[in-house]
Amino acid sequence: MTSKKRRIAAGLGALLVAAALGGATPAAADPDNGPGTAPPPKVDLVLDLSGSMNQNDAGGETRIAAAKKAFNEILDALPDEALVGLRVLGQGNPGNNKAAGCQETAQLAPVGKPDKAAMKTAVAAQRPTTGWTPIGLALNKAAEDLGKEQGSRRIILITDGEDSCAPPDPCEVARQLAAQGLNLVIDTLGLVPDDKTRKQLTCIANATGGTYTSANNAQELSERVTQLVDRAVEKAEEVTIPTAVHGSPNGCADAPLLGPGVYNDREEFEQHLWYKVPQLPGQELRASATVGIDRNVARDYDVTITAVSEDGRDLARHTDAGSGRMDGQSAGLRYSLPQKGDDQPEPKDARITCLMVSTAFHGGPGAAQSPGMPVELLVDLVRASDAQAADTHGLGRGWIFLGVLAGVGLVAGLLFGWIVRLFAGMRRAV
């Protein structure tokens, strides 16, 4: 995402979060799964034990030795808030039996309050074999390790090679996991990676909004994983958990009912998804949609968000277009429902405003249509008078500031001219 896009998205997000609520009708979503304070974050560390980890090029030691050394440092530095588990892949020795080798993954420590001594012992006992590299299978199993309860989930995959067992393709597995709305992020770490490994690990991370980094020795590996675990804890403390929602592709009539909040959905190429928001007279609806670009897409695309009345009239619309690959594309709008009379509106006076999120994306070479690309929808309602006052106040401060600058400039110019003339007169007198 470009700096400009980030500023727009961040500004709108802050606007929605900071705005005072105007008595909006609550969302029709399940309250047990709605936005709220995040529980402790969960992290599953997944380590590759395939035969290539025995190679001696990780800062002068074998890759597995570098990984073990890094794991001990990582465990010692774990935040108290983190619930951590450990899984390995490729740990067996099936020889040329690919069918058996591609089932080799095991959980060494369940996700929970870590028993650091037991985890260190378990890691120390591991020996790379001639096994295969079933990354897709391991990611599915790691997602099961983390469970499906609300909260931040993070898989940190450490490998020195690409998957050798597809299907399932690990990129497709990552997309499918993201499509389940489990608030799951996969971060990938390539230990002395080659180009093919780097490409695959980048694809896995991008599919879930995670990060890819490389490490060439134990110190770099320890630093990277520690940063990722710390980030998981920080994000769990900072953010509201989005609510999974499924917009209607058939129109507003059967669209889900939303109140103020943050929502996650999935949208396929060139699709329209509909949502309904109850809006009281005198309220301003503020909404934005961000589509995450998690796969190869063709150039020239756009995202449009439109507010529509129940009888089909366009009320407000905004389109934002891109011409090259970014992390995401966003569009936002505002729509005020006029206040009738001086009486306070009652809930029965609420009208339904339909929101339609449209995409104009085309898949690039090899891009899958399903599952759809991730969509984050922000919805808020504020009193229109408060919104207008805030806007007017901001504009007023801007004009005052410009006036002060002009006055200071005028005075400074006159003073500078007077000083120049004074010195010129003194030189003539001499």
- Mind listing the pLDDT tens digit for each residue in 89-145? 988 776 678 888 899 999 999 999 988 889 989 888 888 776 789 999 999 999 999
Banded pLDDT at 27 (limits 50, 70, 90)? very low
379: DSSP letter: E
How far apart CA 373 and CA 252 sit, in angstroms, is 21
Per-residue pLDDT of 383-393, as tens digits, reads: 875 545 444 33
- Counting DSSP H helices and E strands in the chain, the numbers are 9, 15
Pick the closest to residue 172 from 140, 128, 146, 145 (CA basis): 140
Cβ atoms within 10 Å of 141's Cβ, excluding its own = 18
**Mean pLDDT value across residues 264-282:** 91
Residue 151 clears pLDDT 80, i.e. is over it:
no
Position 94 scores a pLDDT of 65
pLDDT at 364: 79
Please name the residue that has the structure tokens 């010692």.
76
Mean pLDDT of 287-315: 88
User: What pLDDT score was predicted for residue 427?
Assistant: 63
The mean predicted confidence, pLDDT, of the chain is: 78
CA-CA distance, 27 to 285, in Å (whole number)?
14
Least confident among 131-140, 213-222, 225-234, 388-397: 388-397
Domains and CATH numbers, the chain: 16-35+242-384 (2.60.120.380), 42-238 (3.40.50.410)
Query: Residue 7's pLDDT is what?
Result: 37
Across residues 271-284, what is the average pLDDT? 92
Percent of the chain with pLDDT over 90: 27
> Residue 251 pLDDT > 70, yes or no?
yes
pLDDT band, very low/low/confident/very high, at 326 (cuts 50, 70, 90): low
Instruction: Find the largest Cα–Cα distance for the chain.
Output: 104
User: Following DSSP, what letter does each residue of 124-178 receive, concatenated?
Assistant: HT----S----HHHHHHHHHHHH-SSSS-EEEEEEESS--SSPSSPHHHHHHHHH
Beta bridge partners of 359: 303
| Confidence check: pLDDT of 335 > 50 | yes
Higher pLDDT, 355 or 323: 355
Supply the pLDDT for residue 30. Answer: 40
State the DSSP code for 213: E
Average pLDDT over residues 381-402: 54
The yes-or-no verdict on residue 324 having pLDDT over 70 is no
**pLDDT at position 311 over 70:** yes
Query: How much is the pLDDT for 235?
Result: 57
Mean pLDDT, residues 320-339? 78
Q: 237 vs 15, which has greater pLDDT?
A: 237
What is the tens place of the pLDDT at every residue in 163-176? Answer: 999 899 999 899 88
Cβ pair 351, 278 in contact under 8 A: yes
pTM of this structure: 0.56
pLDDT in tens, 28-85: 444 344 444 557 788 999 999 888 888 877 677 888 888 888 888 888 887 777 789 9
Average pLDDT over every residue of 16-27 = 33
Distance CA 370, CA 179 (A): 9
User: Between 272 and 79, where is the model more confident?
Assistant: 272
**341-362: average pLDDT:** 81
The proportion of the chain whose per-residue pLDDT surpasses 70, expressed as a percent, equals 74
Helix, strand, or coil (residue 198) = helix
**Residue 279 or 183, more confident:** 279
pLDDT range class, residue 395, cuts 50, 70, 90: very low
- pLDDT given for residue 313 in this prediction: 92
